[in-house]
C-alpha cells in the first residue's frame, strides 16, 4: 500500500497509508497552505484569517482593501495552485519567536491575533511553504505534488471568529483528493447537495429568508413557507390531541431562577441568551427549553394518581445563542419552535407510556413517508459522570427501564454512551437526511431529576404523596429543522397535502375562460384546497413551465372544451402528459390525495 510523508504540529515526520482518512486530512491541510500562498502572490496587501482543513474540505479566510475575491477569479487561482503543485515544494516546520513572527504581519490584524493566540512560551509553531506560513495545528502533507485533483468550490462571507460583531472576511472553499475518480464522485455529491439545499430551494420557491442585517439566525417565513409550517402544526396538534395530550401556551420568558433549579443554567448557560434585568431585582431569561414551563402547568393544581398519565404538549418557541458562524438556514437558528411534550407518570406507567409515545412517532413517520431511521439508546458515560445529574441510583434505574421498554417492543437499537441528557437517558430516533447524514429527529427522555428538584408530587391510592416521573418527548423536533429536512428530502416537490400551492389553474384566454377558472377555484377553496388562478398576460407555455418550476402538484388548463364539458385538463408535476377529467373526478382525486397524505398504499 502506497504511503505518504505527513508532518505533525511538533515537526515530526512519519509515513502513513495514503488511503487513510488521516492522510486525506493532511492533503487538505497542505492544499489550504498552497491556496494561501497563491493568494499572497496574487494580491498585494491581502490579510488572512484561518487557513485550515475541516470535515470534507479546506478553506482560507482573507480580507483585502479593495473588492474581495469573486467566484469569477477561482479558475485563475486554480491555475496558480496547479503551478505550485508542479514545483513539488516541501513544507518546512519552524518554531519562531512570537516577536519575530509578528514582524512579518504588522499590517495584518487577523494574522497577528492568531499568532498571539497560538503562541506558547513566547514561540509559535508554523508550517512554511517558501515565504508563506500557517500555524501548525493539524498534521500536514510534506510534499505539494500530491495536490493535483482539486476544485475551488465557492466563495462566501464569514465573520472573523464566527462573531457578527467582528469584520466580515472572504472565505474560499475547496476540495481535494488523491484520485480523480474520488474528486469526480465528491463533486457529483456536492451538486446533488446544492440541488437539495433547503436554503437554495427556499429562495427559489420563496419559502423563507434570513437577513443578518436584522437578525442572524432569525428566519422570516414567507406566505408559502408559512403555509407548509402551519399545515404541519395543525396536523401535529390534531394528532397529539387525539392521543390524549392537552395543548397549552406558555411564555417565552421565565425567571432565571427556574433555570437554576432545573440545571439548565449550570449545564447550558453558554447556549442561553443573557438574562434581562427588569430593574426591580427580577431577572428574566429567554427560554432555551420548555420543560420548566410545563412543570409549572403541572404544579398549578394538586395532582392525584387519577390524573396520571398527564400529557402536556406545546408548539413552544425557544431561543438559544448560536455563534454566527454556526448558523445555517433553518437547520441552525437562534429562534425555534419545538414540537414539545411532557408526560407525568407513575413508576408503573413508564413502559406503557413509552410504547404509546413510540407508536405515535411511528405513525407520524408513516404520514410523512419517513422510512430510513434507526434507534439509539443514549446513556450516561460511566467514565465521565460530572456533566450528569449526580444520582447513581436514578441513572441505574432509568437506564434499565428504558432498555426494558425497548426489549418489550422487540426493536433493534444500539447503545451510545455519553449521549444522554444531563438529567436522564433517552431514546433518540436517528433519521437519514437527503444526503445520507444522521440527524436526531425524535426523542423520548426519561427524567427523575426535574420532578425531584421542583418538588413535584401526586396523591397516591394509599393517601400518601409520591413523586411522578417525567417523560420528555419530541415527535418531529423543531418546525425549522423539520421543514428544512422535508424540503431536502422532497427536493422542494412537497406532497400534495403539504404543498403551499396545490393547484395552479391556467385559463387559455383570460377573457373567455377566466370566469370559469375563478369558479373552479371558488369550489376548490370551499373544499379547503389551496389554489391559484393565473390571470397574467403571459403565454400559456410560459405559465405551465413556471408552475412546474414552482413544483405545484397539479396544473389545470381550461379552455373551450373544458368549459363546455365542465372538465379540466390536468398535468401533474414532473409529467409531460395532460389528461382530461371531469371536474368532479379531479376533485375526488385531489381530495383523496390530500386525505391519504399522498401515500401510494
Q: Which residues make up each annotated binding site for Zn(2+)?
A: 291, 342, 472
Establish how many alpha carbons lie within 13 A of residue 524's alpha carbon, considering only the half-sphere containing its beta carbon. Answer: 28
CA distances from 376 to 104, 385, 389 (A): 51, 20, 21
Question: Could you tell me if 217 and 210 are in contact, meaning their C-beta atoms sit under 8 angstroms apart?
Answer: yes
CA distances from 40 to 34, 35, 133, 134, 362 (A): 10, 9, 10, 12, 55
Give the 3-state secondary structure percentages of the chain, helix then strand then coil, rounded to 5: 40, 30, 30
Helical residues (DSSP H) of 143-269, grouped into ranges: 180-196, 198-204, 212-215, 223-242, 256-262, 264-268
End-to-end Cα distance, the chain: 51
Map residue 196 onto helix, strand or coil.
helix
Cell of 458: 401526586
Q: What is the largest CA-CA distance in the chain?
A: 89
- Cα torsion angle, 517, 519, 522, 526, sign: negative
Q: Is the peptide bond before 406 cis (omega within 30 degrees of 0)?
A: no
Task: Work out whether strand 465-466 and strand 458-459 pair parallel, antiparallel, or are unpaired.
Answer: antiparallel
Crossing angle for the helix pair 350-367 and 392-408, to the nearest 10 degrees: 50
Neighbours of 240 (CB within 10 A): 21
Gyration radius of the chain's alpha carbons: 29
Q: CA 183 to CA 177: how far, in whole Å?
A: 6
Crossing angle for the helix pair 583-595 and 510-526, to the nearest 10 degrees: 40
Binding site feature residues: 291, 342, 472
CA distances from 546 to 205, 491, 534, 553 (A): 11, 16, 11, 12
Amino acid at each position: 500500500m502506497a504511503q505518504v510523508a505527513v508532518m505533525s504540529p511538533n515537526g515530526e515526520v512519519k509515513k502513513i497509508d495514503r488511503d487513510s482518512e488521516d492522510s486525506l486530512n493532511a492533503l487538505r491541510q497542505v492544499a489550504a497552505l498552497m491556496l494561501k500562498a497563491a493568494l499572497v502572490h496574487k494580491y498585494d496587501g491581502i490579510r488572512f484569517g484561518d487557513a485550515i482543513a475541516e470535515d470534507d474540505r479546506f478553506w482560507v479566510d482573507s480580507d483585502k482593501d479593495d473588492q474581495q475575491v469573486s467566484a469569477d477569479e477561482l479558475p485563475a487561482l486554480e491555475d496558480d495552485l496547479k503551478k505550485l503543485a508542479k514545483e513539488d515544494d516541501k513544507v518546512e516546520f519552524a518554531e519562531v519567536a512570537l516577536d519575530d513572527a509578528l514582524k512579518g504581519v504588522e499590517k495584518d490584524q487577523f494574522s497577528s491575533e492568531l499568532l498571539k493566540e497560538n503562541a506558547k512560551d513566547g514561540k509559535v509553531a508554523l508550517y512554511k511553504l517558501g515565504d508563506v506560513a500557517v500555524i501548525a495545528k493539524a498534521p500536514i502533507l510534506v510534499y505539494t505534488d500530491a495536490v493535483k485533483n482539486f476544485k475551488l468550490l465557492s466563495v462566501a462571507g464569514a465573520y472573523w471568529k464566527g462573531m457578527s460583531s467582528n469584520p466580515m472576511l472572504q472565505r474560499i472553499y475547496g476540495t481535494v483528493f488523491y484520485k480523480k475518480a474520488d474528486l469526480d464522485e465528491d463533486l457529483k455529491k456536492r451538486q446533488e447537495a446544492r440541488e437539495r439545499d433547503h436554503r437554495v430551494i427556499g429562495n427559489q420557491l420563496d419559502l423563507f429568508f434570513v437577513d443578518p442585517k436584522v437578525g442572524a439566525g432569525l428566519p422570516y417565513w414567507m406566505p408559502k413557507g408559512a403555509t407548509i409550517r402551519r399545515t404541519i402544526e395543525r396536523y401535529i396538534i390534531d394528532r397529539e390531541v387525539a392521543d390524549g395530550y392537552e395543548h397549552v401556551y406558555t411564555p417565552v420568558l421565565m425567571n432565571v431562577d427556574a433555570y437554576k433549579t432545573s440545571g439548565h443554567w449550570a449545564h447550558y448557560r453558554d447556549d442561553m441568551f443573557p438574562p434581562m434585568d427588569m430593574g426591580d431585582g427580577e431577572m428574566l431569561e429567554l427560554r432555551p427549553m420548555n420543560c420548566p414551563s410545563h412543570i409549572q402547568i403541572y404544579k398549578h393544581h394538586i395532582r392525584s394518581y387519577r390524573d396520571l398519565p398527564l400529557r402536556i404538549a406545546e408548539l413552544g418557541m425557544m431561543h438559544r445563542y448560536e455563534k454566527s458562524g454556526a448558523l445555517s438556514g433553518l437547520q441552525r437558528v437562534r429562534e425555534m419552535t419545538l414540537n414539545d411534550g411532557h408526560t407525568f407518570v407513575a413508576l408503573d406507567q413508564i413502559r406503557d407510556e413509552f410504547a404509546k409515545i413510540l407508536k405515535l412517532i411511528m405513525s407520524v413517520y408513516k404520514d410523512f413517508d419517513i422510512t430510513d431511521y434507526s434507534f439509539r439508546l443514549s446513556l450516561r458515560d460511566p467514565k465521565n459522570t460530572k456533566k450528569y445529574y449526580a444520582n447513581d441510583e436514578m441513572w441505574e434505574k432509568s437506564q434499565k427501564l428504558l432498555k426494558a421498554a425497548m426489549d418489550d417492543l422487540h426493536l433493534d437499537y444500539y447503545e451510545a454512551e455519553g449521549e444522554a441528557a444531563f438529567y436522564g437517558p433517552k431514546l433518540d430516533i436517528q433519521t437519514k437526511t437527503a444526503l445520507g447524514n444522521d440527524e436526531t429527529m425524535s426523542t423520548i427522555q426519561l427524567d427523575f431529576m426535574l420532578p425531584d428538584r421542583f418538588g413535584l408530587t401526586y396523591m397516591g391510592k394509599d393517601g400518601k404523596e409520591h413523586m411522578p416521573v417525567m417523560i420528555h418527548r419530541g415527535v418531529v423536533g423543531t418546525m425549522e429543522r423539520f421543514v428544512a429536512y422535508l424540503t431536502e428530502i422532497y427536493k422542494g416537490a412537497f406532497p400534495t397535502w403539504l404543498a403551499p400551492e396545490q393547484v395552479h389553474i391556467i385559463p387559455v384566454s383570460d377573457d373567455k375562460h377566466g370566469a370559469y377558472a375563478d369558479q373552479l377555484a371558488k369550489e376548490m377553496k370551499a373544499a379547503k384546497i389551496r389554489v391559484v388562478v393565473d390571470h397574467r398576460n403571459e403565454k400559456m407555455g410560459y405559465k405551465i413551465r413556471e408552475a412546474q418550476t414552482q413544483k405545484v402538484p397539479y396544473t389545470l388548463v381550461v379552455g373551450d372544451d373544458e368549459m363546455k364539458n365542465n372538465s379540466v385538463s390536468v398535468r401533474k408535476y414532473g409529467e409531460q402528459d395532460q389528461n382530461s377529467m371531469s371536474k368532479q373526478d379531479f376533485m375526488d382525486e385531489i381530495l383523496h390525495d390530500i386525505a391519504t397524505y399522498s401515500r401510494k398504499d
